[in-house]
Amino acid sequence: MFSRHYRKVRIFFALADALLVLMAFFSAYFLRKVLPFDRNFELDGPVQALLACGAIVLWIALAYWLEVYDRLDSAHPIVILRDSFRQCLLGVIGLVLLQYLARLDLSRSFTVLLVVFTWILLCLFRLMSGNMVGHIRRTFGATHYIIVIGSGERAHHIEQLLQGSSKYGIRLLGVISEKTAPSEIPKLLRQHIIDEIIFAVESSQLPQLEELFLLCDEEGVRTRVSVDFFPHVNSQIFLDRLGSASLLTFSAAPHDEILLLLKRVTDIILAVAAMILLAPFMLIVIFLIKITSPGPAVFKQIRCGLNGRKFVFYKFRSMVDNADELKASLEHLNQKQTAFKIPNDPRLTSIGRWLRKFSIDELPQFWNVLKGDMSLVGPRPAVPEEVDQYLRWQRRRLRMRPGLTCLWALNGRDHLDFETWMKLDMQYIDTWSLGLDLKILLKTVPKVLLGKGAN
């Protein structure tokens, strides 16, 4: 199925969730009212509306966060039951938090009924959703007719993908060789309804098909080109424009300017809030560092940021003031490839061990986030000496703004080997979304509070 169809399916499931959660909410509410409990339970109209809207927003946001909608039309029933249960459990936790913030007094039995009803309704609907999406599209949406031009393995692959999308109303009219296409396509356009044509040919053959492109353009037929000219390139591919010039663009890192802008706005808001809330605590940390060891309270170092740009990186000093001078004498204790990390580093000060354990030494980096050198989530910034030793594939981690926390910080932090660091950073870049950032931030908080994974 085309990605634009997936977007429609997600919207369909989100609207369905809104309706089902609303049904579950009022079913639970009215059942609780009539149950013969000692305590009466009744909510005013505005309060009902607030809670119902809050429940809808929570359930839909959680579905996007857990990526439930991406699996519903093809998932195994066990996966659907599991995902729906996780969504409902987290949803009711969020609703309880909303209750406390709004200072409401919800009935526990109502809360239990809401979870049970919501889970049952969502499961019943989702277990039928695979066939339902296709049925709705076939019934209420026009069938989409496609022709593929090509004769090689690439054309065969496109043919299989289109045949697998038939339940969504996509119909493959045929696969035509690039040799006979110039004579056959004009006749087919006159005789049949054709919504679009996909060119799955070698790049060297495209110039020979220019007349066909012009014909489709004149008749308003949408055309697509299979652009796997470089089969080993994993970049996202999109068309951009520079004035009147069209540019086929390969991007090996996230490129959606709107989403990246939202990421930056989120960084600024949360960094400002953190600096204001943590200011008294950070002043205490500065005082403790100053009275326990000589030297400045804030350590500065040059690090590599987005695309290799160098910036001044800030941390609370957790080591003795001459730590860099002692580094050479401790090289034999290094247990990492490329990066310099040693267990129980003797250069750490007495308070520095605690600052490291609970990541308190990282707090000044909120200033780096505010300045735009860093983000809240992203690959950790490396020193230039490490970057100089990177293998070619490892340098791609520089294509994302570095962050305070990252995937490997959740998977063992300093206990992981260097290559695993790199692979997890690549995984983050390749799968980045605002939802993934939120997941990492939420999972980082308990890790930091418990001091898990740091040396």
- In terms of Cα–Cα distance, which of 299, 316, 413, 293 is closest to 363? 316
DSSP-derived 3-state class of residue 314:
strand
At residue 229, the pLDDT reads: 63
Is pTM beyond 0.95? Reply is no
Please state the three-class secondary structure of 195-209 as a single string.
CEEEECCCHHHHHHH
At residue 455, the pLDDT reads: 47
Pair of tokens at residue 111: 């809360």
Q: What is the DSSP letter of 319?
A: B
Distances (CA, A) of 292 to 195, 296, 298: 74, 11, 14
Q: How many degrees, rounded to 5, is the angle at CA 399 between CA 259 and CA 271?
A: 55
Q: For 305, what's the count of Cα atoms within 13 Å in the CB-facing half-sphere?
A: 18
Pair of tokens at residue 402: 């570095």
At residue 175, the pLDDT reads: 92
Q: Which fold has domain 142-232?
A: Rossmann fold (3.40.50)
Q: Which residues have CB under 8 Å from 451's CB, separation 6+? A: 357, 358
Distance CA 28, CA 22 (A): 10
At residue 403, the pLDDT reads: 94
Pair of tokens at residue 1: 């199925």
Q: Which residues have CB under 8 Å from 200's CB, separation 6+? A: 148, 149, 150, 152, 154, 155, 157, 158, 226
Q: Give the max Cα distance, the chain.
A: 87
Distance CA 316, CA 282 (A): 9
Each as own residue / partner, the long-range contacts of residues 121-124 (CB below 8 Å, 24 or more positions apart, any chain) are 121/20, 121/23, 121/24, 122/17, 122/20, 122/84, 122/87, 122/88, 123/80, 123/81, 123/84
Q: So where are the chain's domains?
A: 3-139, 142-232, 257-450
DSSP-derived 3-state class of residue 93:
helix
- In terms of Cα–Cα distance, which of 72, 157, 88, 162 is closest to 120? 88
pLDDT digits (tens, 9 = 90+) for 164-221: 777 667 889 999 999 999 999 999 988 888 888 999 888 888 888 888 988 888 888 8
Q: How far is CA 293 from the centre of its chain?
A: 42
- Taking the CA atoms of 369, 373, 377 and 380 in sequence, report the sign of the dihedral they define: negative
- In terms of Cα–Cα distance, which of 263, 259, 235, 260 is closest to 249? 235
- What average pLDDT does the structure give for the chain? 82
Cβ distance 397 to 303 under 8 Å? no
Distance CA 371, CA 218 (A): 50
pLDDT digits (tens, 9 = 90+) for 250-294: 788 888 888 888 899 999 999 999 999 999 999 999 999 999 888
- In terms of Cα–Cα distance, which of 260, 238, 266, 240 is closest to 250? 238
At residue 111, the pLDDT reads: 83
Q: Which residues have CB under 8 Å from 293's CB, separation 6+? A: 317, 320, 321, 349, 350, 351, 352
Helix (H) or strand (E) holding 111: helix 108-140
Pair of tokens at residue 253: 């890192």
Helical spans, DSSP H, in 238-346? 257-292, 323-326
Helix (H) or strand (E) holding 236: strand 236-242
Query: Which regions in the chain score pLDDT beneath 50?
Result: 140, 453, 455
At residue 415, the pLDDT reads: 66
